[in-house]
Structure 1
Amino acid sequence: LQEQTQFRKKRVALHQVSHLITMALLVSIRSSISSLILVISLATATVFPAHAAQTPPAMFVFGDSLSDVGNNNALPDGFHANFAHYGVDFPGGVATGRFTNGYNFIDVIAQHLGFEQSPPAFVSVSRGDNPVSKGVNFASGGSGIMVECMDGTAKKCITMDEQIDNFKRVRTLLEQQLGSKDMTNKLVSNSLFVFTCGGNDLNNFFDKHSFLFPFAPIDEYVANLTSAFNSQLRELYEFGGRKFAVINVPAIGRIPTARALDVLNIIGINFERVLNGYARKFNEAEAAMLRGLSSTLPGMKYSIGNAYSVIMDVTNNPKKYGEIN
């Protein structure tokens, strides 16, 4: 059992979901199935109800491999996606650091909102390669709300707290570029803050506590996780963020490495059900936390993109989207 759970290293634990979500988005566009793009874009559509005519001035993206567009490329020992066959369907067939075969769903959301391109990775901004007035992507593959990104002396990813610190640096750059603190406040308050996080946290919890099933302290862990995320959102609110799009945790029991554990069902544990149960429990707690937070922070707007339902629908009904399971 221990060997099987080690198979679910965070290097691969959530990365395959990026392809599944992106595939769902792109198939929906090709097939003119608007419902799926609206489901995954719920966060942006609700925060910006007239988004077709009102593109937010900028997007600031935080999270994990579902959103990373190349930040991990700068980490010598990090989780990487800058090699074949990543990027085979990206323009030019280039592996950019996105943990998928082409565009990731942040790219699709940006296009859907009217941006010419997805916000650049923070690593390129910090080198001075890109302007920041249209937003920045801070996401890092392997990261999470409370994920520790160090493996001994090796830095594997960029923690959420570090991503928020990087946003503060970008905010300072914005003030310099715009020439006014008031103009910066206006841009940031009208911008969209997008999050994909929690999946790696839950996978790591499963790796650590699977031997305790069904007595693993998941309720306590989910409470700690939502409390930490609450604090992170409050910090961004204090630095001007007002519009938050949160993509909930996908059905992590359906990713390939989780399905590999189906062979252990013989011992009476349905690992897909366990992992999906963790995801649903966190998603419910996250939704309740966001309701409470928005009621206490004046001007805060949020919505939740239901990635869990997207993954379940695509994997339950692949033919509906022109795919084969």
Structure 2
Amino acid sequence: MALVPVLLLALFFSLSVIGNAQPKVPAIYVFGDSTADVGNNNYLPGAGKVNFLPYGIDFPDSIPTGRWTNGYNFVDFFARQMGFQMSPPPYLSLPNNTSQVGVNYASGGSGILDSTGNHTLTMTKQIKYFAATNKSNIVLSKCIFLISAGANDIIALLAKNTASSITQPEQFYNNLISNYTKQIEALYNLGARKFGIVDVGPIGCTPGARLLFNHSGACFDAVNVLVRVVNDDVKVMLSNLSSTLKGMKYSLGSAYAAVSNMIANPEAAGFKDVTSGCCGGSSVECTPTTIYCKNRTEYLFWDAIHPTQRAYEEAVLDIYSGSPPFVTPINFKQLVEDA
């Protein structure tokens, strides 16, 4: 993807903030994987990219920005709830690597573990870039630090094993949580105080997992068991950190609960298909030549792994102003408005 379209989007974002009501926080800083990436992978040689149509088909002017969906992702909808018209631009698109309204460091394919995701910005790299960024006069303690990570670490584990024959799972869980703890502590030491964390969704229910692990087409719960253990460990980790790090506040949004609810009650969200991907169904990748559905608002999944824009919007509605099981111990709205 050319640099110019991304810079135009960044300019639009800045102008829209000026012309809009005052945002509820000074800035948003985003970290994580493809669920949060808004185009960083476009600038990384060798990294997976989605800078081509039909990705972005429902983005304004049908621009394939590098978001791993048909339009906006959940970061964009969170930003709107916080008073911004658009979410922060990708870090690698900014000429001087700074932005007055926040920066997005997320990278598709990345993980909490440094061993996850070749050619991507791992969480460790993302935080290093943030540490080196000139953050101007922004008061970081009032900003929101949004993180969505962990799915690729589980997928990488499965790639080396099968869900039923994983060796030393406790070692995996311990390493993952240890790394995640250090990363949040690093951000805290750099000035972060308000953390909006999104857990891992039900990977076993994605179209790709249904096909790969369960030929009957049902969710493969053995994978979801791994996800639930990780999510439970993250919940305990955040509770422990908040009791030891003075002034730390957090909201843990459950992508797992939100997506599972949509799968169990599709009609409530207006979905007609919650098992296959709009682009490519479940058996093939979404490429420039792949046939994709026309009724995209009726699909939960865009491709074999990622949700549609519509699904992201529904999940954010559950998390931002919601209550358990969608978000604990406070919702994102309370986190944002807490002085």
Same-fold status (TM-score > 0.5): yes
Q: 1:164 aligns to what?
A: 127
Deviation string, structure 1 residues 74-117 (Cα, Å, up to 9, x no partner): 01211101011100000000100000000001000000110132
Distance 1:164 1:137 in 2: 11
Q: 1:106 aligns with which of 75, 99, 118?
A: 75
Correspondence for 2:175 among 214, 224, 229 = 224
Q: Does 1:194 align with 2:155?
A: no
* Counterpart pick for 2:185 among 234, 240, 248: 234
2:75 counterpart letter in structure 1: I
Aligned partner of 1:97 among 62, 66, 69 = 66
Asked if 1:324 is matched to 2:293, the reply is no
3-state SS in 2 of match to 1:78: coil
Residues 18-74 of structure 1: CA distance to partner in whole angstroms, max 9, x if unpaired? xxxxxxxxxxxxxxxxxxxxxxxxxxxxxxxxxx98711100000000000000000
Alignment of 1:204 onto 2:165: no
Determine helix, strand or coil for the equivalent of 1:145.
coil
Aligned to 2:283: none
**Residue identity opposite 1:92 in structure 2:** D
- SS in structure 2 at match of 1:210: coil
Q: Secondary structure at the match of 1:88?
A: coil
| Superposition pairs of residues 32-181 of structure 1, within 5 angstroms | 55-125=24-94, 127-128=95-96, 131-148=98-115, 151=118, 155=119, 157-170=120-133, 173-175=134-136, 178=137
In 2, are the aligned partners of 1:210 and 1:216 still within 8 Å (CA)?
no
Instruction: Return the TM-score normalized by structure 1.
Output: 0.74
Structure 1 pair 102–215 and aligned structure 2 pair: CA distance change class (3 A): closer
Q: Count the aligned residue pairs.
A: 253
Aligned to 2:256: 308
Deviation at 1:220, TM superposition (A): 2.2
How far is the alpha carbon of 1:250 from its aligned partner? Answer: 0.4
**2:110–2:117 Cα contact (<8 Å) kept:** no
Distance in structure 2 (CA, Å) of the matches to 1:263 and 1:161: 34
Task: Look up the SS of the partner of 1:174 in the other structure.
Answer: coil
Letter in 2 for 1:233: I
Question: Which letter maps to 1:167?
Answer: F
Contact 2:196–2:253 (8 Å) recurs in 1: yes
Could you tell me which runs of 5 or more consecutive residues in structure 2 were left unpaired when the two chains were aligned: 1-20, 274-339
Give the aligned partner of residue 278 of structure 1. Answer: 226
The Cα of 1:174 is off from its aligned counterpart by 2.1
Distance 1:150 1:215 in 2: 20
Counterpart for residue 21 of structure 1: none
Cα-to-partner distance string for 1:259-288 (whole Å, 9 max, x where unaligned): 10244579xxx8711111011000000000
Relative distance call for 1:74 and 1:215 in structure 2 (3 A) is closer
Question: In structure 2, what residue type is equivalent to 1:90?
Answer: F
Q: Are the equivalent residues in 2 in contact too, given 1:147–1:200 (CA < 8 A)?
A: no
CA contact (8 A) 1:249 1:279 kept: yes
Q: Identify the residue that residue 7 of structure 1 maps to in structure 2.
A: none
- 1:22 counterpart residue number: none
What is the alpha-carbon distance in structure 2 between the residues aligned to residue 215 and residue 204 of structure 1? 12
1:43 aligned residue: none
Over the aligned positions, Cα root-mean-square deviation in angstroms equals: 2.1
State the AA in 2 paired with 1:309.
Answer: A
Distance in 1, matches of 2:106 and 2:205, equals: 23
Greater fraction helix = 1
State the TM-score, normalizing by the size of structure 2: 0.71
Q: Distance in 1 between matches of 2:117 and 2:197?
A: 25
Instruction: Tell me, in whole angstroms, the C-alpha distance in 1 between the residues paired with 2:216 and 2:210.
Output: 10
The structure-2 alpha-carbon separation of the partners of 1:131 and 1:215, relative to structure 1 and needing over 3 Å to count, comes to: closer
